[in-house]
Structure 1
Amino acid sequence: MEKHSHTADVHQDIGPPHNGHLQRTLENRHIQLIAIGGAIGTGLFMGSGKVIALAGTSIVLVYAILGFFLFFVMRAMGELLLSNLQFKSFADIVATYLGPRAGFVLSWSYWLSWSVAVVGDVVVVAGFFQYWFPDVPAWMPAIFSMFLLLGLNMLAVRIFGEVEFWFAIIKIVAIVLLIVTALIMIATSFTSPNGTVASFSHMIEAGSIFPHGLSGFFAGFQIAVFSFAGTELIGTTAAEAKNPHRTLPKAINTIPARILLFYILALVCIISVVSWADVPANRSPFVELFLLAGFPAAAGMINFVVLTSAASSANSGVYSGCRMLFGLAERNLAPAIFGKLSSLSVPVYSLLFSGLCMLAGVTLLFVMPEVMTVFTLISTISAILVIFTWSMILASYIAYRKKAPAAHQKSAFKSPGGVPMAAITLVFLLFVLCLLALREDTRLALYFMPLWFIFLLFAYGRSKASPSVAAHIPSGN
């Protein structure tokens, strides 16, 4: 009898609401390219210049270390999602294994992280737009981009998948062309107008590895975390993916190869051509590579690519943020109107609310017109919330291993290293969070973010959420 009531709870609490279903219309190619697009974001194209300025050539080590641990976060998430296909996203998992309060805090925090990240992305779109039109105020292209993205997300989810597919293709082709171009320049010992000879030796030249000591190396993790924000987007597409047992493992298992190609190899090539000391901290090193090499036309093309990349990342953020609100409404933890779907199965009211909040964030450009200043503030807030999200996924995995051993035994996609590796990764993420206190430009956000969590705990206490919000523990189906 007890078991029967728990089963009923699943359909009530994490099952689709009576007013509609999210449709499983995202195909394998959509999921794979959304996963790649999520991993190649604004942090790589815009923020990597700042990381190189701080960490020198040890930027490669920063991305490799973070990428290593991120793989275990994603594998843990993959096992959890596939343990029960009624989980629509990792927010449902957290609500199940850590309790409804944790699910509430995680869902709203993830919504905020994407809302903030989208603001950061459209701010960067504005910065790249100013490459061609320096006299145009940054807020104009930023607000135009926001309205365009909201319009795209009003369309069917398949259209979203298609847009992201082509955005990701553009990014991949651009990075591959950049790598090939840089390798040719290195092979021919190309000399830039400022006298720098392209060579892999720039990676190990005197003073290049830790130019600002360990503090500069550690400070690089903030932008690196922001760069990888969106990799977990695979976990919010789960409810709209065809054949998730095939597509999700494939998307997760290719993460190390993507990091190796798109981050490490691309940055090695940039530093080898430009030299780390000549990479500007406040502009895109991808654009600068071609400018310093004397190819302004190619630099303009790359500027267009990184602009579309930032728009793609913002597009993913708008999608992901409104899906989180939809999930909250389903569990009675957000106004019921956010759970209503349009005729195209899009959570239109949660999309409009997210869009209004994002537009409010863009007004920061009126207060702080310097794009990089706004970007640093925004990316730090996003990094803190992303670390929190990844940590909650790991904590849920540890709880799952204790509470649902049968589900783990039946899993065809077990997380490597199990609980010990999840615990080590959790400690590493807490360490990265502490690193944000090292620099003044990241410290401010770290001090203020606890207020957000206190507010959420207070809001949860005031809500009328029933104690049966969390789903039952799956038996391994």
Structure 2
Amino acid sequence: MAHAMHDTETAPEEQTLQRGLSNRHIQLMAIGGAIGTGLFMGSGKGISLAGPAIAGVYAVIGLMLFFMMRAMGEMLLSDGRYRTFSDMVEDILGPWAGFSIGWTYWLCWIITGIAEVVAVTTYVAYWWPDLPPWIPAVAMVALIVGLNMMAVRLFGEMEFWFALIKIVAIVALVGVGLWLVITGFTGSDGTTASVSNLWEHGGIVPNGMHGVLTGFQIAIFSFVGLELVGTTAAEAKDPQRTLPRAINAIPIRILLFYVAALVVLMMVTPWTNARADQSPFVQTFALAGLAAAAGVINFVVITSAASSCNSGTYSTSRMLLGLASRRSAPKALDHLSSRHTPDRALLVSAVCLLLAVPLLYATGGVAEAFTLATTVSSVLFLFVWTLILVSYLVYRRNLPERHERSHYRMPGGVVTTWMVLVFFAFVVWTLTLADDTRQGLLASLIWFAVLGAGLLLRRRARAHAA
């Protein structure tokens, strides 16, 4: 049966990965992975497409992904042998699913990392507009490799402080923005900060339902990384306590870091000022005439991109290690350094991140490269999240005794799971509505063809070996 997990397959990684991540590390990684370029950079495009209604789009997506996380949490905690959600999916659905989700999740974070690196070139250009974009791109990748080569406890510490900078910055930004609204601050462009900015420039849904629907693409990308806590189970000191705490805090984090932050931004300066190729967080303070504050926020968004890319690289290296240990990736990648980090898997991932450089020059600009990368990433993450939910449906059908024993059950169970799956299908449909996202959707189909070929070759190789 699919759920008869073999200890011999999981032993190598379990013996070597260290449980060096404490509760505070995992709590902050859960926030840090999810607050990245999608919010700081991509929300500019979302605001320009949907206007003030984009805040509602973020709230709906956040609720649906919270349910997905609850389903993942229940399954992860149902068996102590699961090190990541990849193990969980393989155990419940079978080897094909473990292979598919492992490799797709690896590519998810490679593409997302490329988007983060692309965005960093924009942030650096705020200070040094004449600097060739390949320089900050290569510097970013070098920094990420260095951080990930450290022992997991030190990595966790660095990610803790990275994420803390983001959290403090967003809370401060919301506070300063509210103060500007209360005092009726008038910016250098002549606009006055006011709650009425939310409806005085064409209404809350200024571009109609088409604008709202096209806003789903960048909004869904803003949430990639929410599932990162599902890759930390093997290195968490107390997963039974830390994973539920991290997942349960998701709704309040979404309301503060996504919905409240965007609403405040659109009160300070009208949504009509938003540009798809700029961070609205930096732009808002620049338009308000607060250049020093804009510079500080620009520094924060650079650390944000580094943090998100850092978390993603951590995740991809663990996925490659797990795939290699199960003979679904080259055996040479099943190797750890003296610091107990998957060094070879890490270097492979890092080399792939450098594809951001030719992408920048091939697409003709940051906005085009960013949209292509984020659309492909969104489709791949939707596939990963869908496999997690399908696993939950099979888990409920085939392993009812585990569900009965669970102290952390998915709210609404099977009914909620189907609701979220229908919502995911709806989001994929929204990607067909605009030319730029349609191109990314078609590009992502190439990966599924490669994945199918990989599954076929793997099956033949195993049949031949047998």
- Settle same-fold status: TM greater than 0.5: yes
Partner in structure 1 of residue 283 of structure 2: 288
8 A contact 1:87–1:239 mirrored in 2: yes
**Aligned-pair distance for 1:366?**
2.8
1:231 aligns with 2:223: no
Letter in 1 for 2:27: Q
8 A contact 2:33–2:312 mirrored in 1: no
Partner in structure 1 of residue 304 of structure 2: 309
Residues in 1 aligned to 2:11 and 2:200: alpha-carbon distance in whole angstroms: 57
**Aligned-pair distance for 1:17?**
4.5
Partner in structure 1 of residue 188 of structure 2: 193
Residues 72-111 of structure 1: pairs in structure 2 closer than 5 A:
72-111=67-106
Which ranges of structure 2 fall in alignment gaps of 5 or more residues?
none
Query: What SS does the aligned partner of 1:182 have?
Result: helix
Post-superposition Cα deviations, 1:380-435, rounded to whole Å, max 9, x if no partner, equal 11000111111111000111001110011001100101011001101100110111
**Aligned-pair distance for 1:466?**
4.8
1:414 aligns with 2:409: yes
Partner in structure 1 of residue 60 of structure 2: 65
8 A contact 2:118–2:356 mirrored in 1: no
Letter in 2 for 1:12: T
8 A contact 1:44–1:263 mirrored in 2: yes
TM-score, normalised by the number of residues in structure 1: 0.94
1:114 aligns with 2:109: yes
Residues 232-271 of structure 1: pairs in structure 2 closer than 5 A:
232-271=227-266
8 A contact 1:105–1:453 mirrored in 2: no
8 A contact 1:63–1:224 mirrored in 2: yes
Letter in 2 for 1:38: G
Letter in 1 for 2:412: G
Post-superposition Cα deviations, 1:338-362, rounded to whole Å, max 9, x if no partner, equal 1111111111111111111111343
8 A contact 1:104–1:333 mirrored in 2: yes
8 A contact 1:116–1:378 mirrored in 2: yes
Residues 390-401 of structure 1: pairs in structure 2 closer than 5 A:
390-401=385-396
8 A contact 1:121–1:314 mirrored in 2: yes
Post-superposition Cα deviations, 1:318-347, rounded to whole Å, max 9, x if no partner, equal 111111111111111011111111111111
Partner in structure 2 of residue 159 of structure 1: 154
Residues in 2 aligned to 1:135 and 1:339: alpha-carbon distance in whole angstroms: 42
Matched residues, number = 462
Residue of 377, 384, 401 corresponding to 2:372: 377
Query: What SS does the aligned partner of 2:62 have?
Result: helix
Partner in structure 1 of residue 50 of structure 2: 55
Partner in structure 1 of residue 137 of structure 2: 142
Residue of 215, 218, 229 corresponding to 2:213: 218
Residues in 2 aligned to 1:317 and 1:374: alpha-carbon distance in whole angstroms: 19
**Aligned-pair distance for 1:368?**
3.2
Residues in 2 aligned to 1:150 and 1:408: alpha-carbon distance in whole angstroms: 40
Post-superposition Cα deviations, 1:2-21, rounded to whole Å, max 9, x if no partner, equal x9x986x5212233349x52
Which ranges of structure 1 fall in alignment gaps of 5 or more residues?
468-477
1:11 aligns with 2:7: yes
**RMSD, aligned CA:** 1.6
1:354 aligns with 2:349: yes
**Aligned-pair distance for 1:118?**
0.5
Residues in 2 aligned to 1:271 and 1:448: alpha-carbon distance in whole angstroms: 33
**Aligned-pair distance for 1:126?**
1.3
**Aligned-pair distance for 1:95?**
1.0
Residues in 2 aligned to 1:222 and 1:139: alpha-carbon distance in whole angstroms: 27
Letter in 2 for 1:109: T
Residues in 1 aligned to 2:237 and 2:441: alpha-carbon distance in whole angstroms: 39
Residue of 435, 438, 441 corresponding to 2:436: 441
TM-score, normalised by the number of residues in structure 2: 0.96
8 A contact 1:139–1:366 mirrored in 2: no
8 A contact 1:208–1:276 mirrored in 2: no
Residues in 2 aligned to 1:56 and 1:176: alpha-carbon distance in whole angstroms: 22
Residues in 1 aligned to 2:11 and 2:47: alpha-carbon distance in whole angstroms: 46
Letter in 1 for 2:265: I
- Residues 411, 278 of structure 1: CA spacing in aligned structure 2 closer, same or farther, 3 A cutoff? same
Letter in 2 for 1:89: T
**Aligned-pair distance for 1:247?**
0.3
Residues in 2 aligned to 1:282 and 1:356: alpha-carbon distance in whole angstroms: 26
Residues in 2 aligned to 1:379 and 1:17: alpha-carbon distance in whole angstroms: 31
Residues 315-330 of structure 1: pairs in structure 2 closer than 5 A:
315-330=310-325
Query: What SS does the aligned partner of 1:132 have?
Result: coil
Post-superposition Cα deviations, 1:293-329, rounded to whole Å, max 9, x if no partner, equal 1110111011000111011111111111111111111
Residues in 2 aligned to 1:167 and 1:262: alpha-carbon distance in whole angstroms: 15
Query: What SS does the aligned partner of 2:276 have?
Result: coil
Partner in structure 2 of residue 336 of structure 1: 331
Residue of 107, 112, 125 corresponding to 2:120: 125
